[in-house]
Amino acid sequence: MSLRTAMEELIPQIEADLQEIVCPPQESLAPYYGMMHYHLGWVDASLQSFQANSGKRLRPLLCLLSCQALGGNLQQALPAASAVELIHSFSLVHDDIQDGSHTRRGRRAVWDIWGMPHGINVGDGLFVLARLALHRLDSRGVSADRQQAATLALDQACLALCEGQYFDLAFEDRPDVDLDQYLWMIRRKTAALLATAAQLGAIVATHDPEQVSRYYQFGESLGMAFQIQDDILGTWGDEKTTGKSAATDIRDKKKTLLVVYSLNQTTDRRAAQRLADLYAQQGPLDESAIQLVQEMFEQVGAHQYAERAAEEYYHAALQSLEQTRIDNAAQSYLRELAASLLGRQY
């Protein structure tokens, strides 16, 4: 069986579990939960049934496959898989508001349709539903100590995510961000939740803290590679596949790894200064400026640096898997999933 076949088996289970969790408790709340359903890709803006791009469901897949690799019960891990996906969803709803992003996955963002107050409330609701989802571990026969460990892990990841988001927002107005600061930020904003997804699956499956730690390290390294690849796609990605305008990160002057590297490299200080001057301008960059920035990235080697960094983190992720000394189908799927993320186009 291939990873694709495994995904075709697992994703419907994830969707069914999510739909059970994000279900309005009474008819009067259907519009509120409908906004959550919209973000999750199940309805259109009129709240009519519709199958939109709901994302890769990467985090719940990592959770379930890590559990399966360690010989755990997938049904027991489903509440944890749903919880980590709902935390991810909450963060995206709020992230769109904080960044002023009008689109998400090729559709209007929640706040863009229903307004910022509803957007904030939808994100808050998704956060609480994620916490409640973890309480369903008890009904799946997961022991109390593992439930407690899972709750602690998810809470720590949420705090790390918020800390990372703080620095991501703070970096927008700072010209002095260095590479170590940037990597620390993405380790918290992006990698922590991917790490915790794999960790949660391991917690459900085993009491062995060393194995749990290895799967966490796998997810963290994978998350670092994932974010760096996202930086590359945000600069040169195809709008038809990424769901957002090409070079949108440059237009909005986001402090990606490419920008931070270019500003801190010492081989061409004139290019670094030109880039700093462009990013100091008020408002978004126009098409000519975007093209100039892309050329600068190539000129100073930022593109090649980012690709090398992503590949190094990818290999670190594989090394963490090797250290588990596990060799089964689910472990192979995790390797295949990691490889697909490094070469992804969306």
Q: What domains can be seen in the chain, in order of their start residue?
A: 3-342 (1.10.600.10)
Give pLDDT < 50 ranges for the chain.
none
- Are residues 194 and 220 in contact, defined by beta-carbon separation less than 8 angstroms? yes
pLDDT (0 to 100) of residue 343 = 76
CB count within 10 Å of CB 286 equals 11
Fill in the amino acid letter for 139: S
Instruction: Report the share of the chain in percent with pLDDT over 90.
Output: 85
Write phi, then psi, for 161 (nearest 5 degrees): -60, -45
Place of tokens 């992230």: 95
pLDDT (0 to 100) of residue 74 = 95
**Cβ contacts of residue 117 below 8 Å, gap of 6+?**
none
- Are residues 191 and 214 in contact, defined by beta-carbon separation less than 8 angstroms? no
**What distance separates the 2 farthest-apart alpha carbons in the chain?**
63
End-to-end CA distance of the chain: 24
Q: What's the rounded Cα separation, in Å, for the pair 186 and 256?
A: 10
Q: What's the rounded Cα separation, in Å, for the pair 198 and 191?
A: 11
Q: Please give the mean pLDDT across all residues of the chain.
A: 94
pLDDT (0 to 100) of residue 52 = 85
List pLDDT tens digits, range 47-104: 999 988 878 899 999 999 999 999 999 999 999 999 999 999 999 999 999 999 999 9
Instruction: Tell me which DSSP letter residue 43 carries.
Output: B
Q: SS3 of 107, please?
A: strand
pLDDT (0 to 100) of residue 245 = 59
Instruction: Tell me which DSSP letter residue 104 carries.
Output: E
Residue 176 Cα distances to 116, 181, 299, angstroms: 31, 10, 21
Instruction: Tell me which DSSP letter residue 215 carries.
Output: H
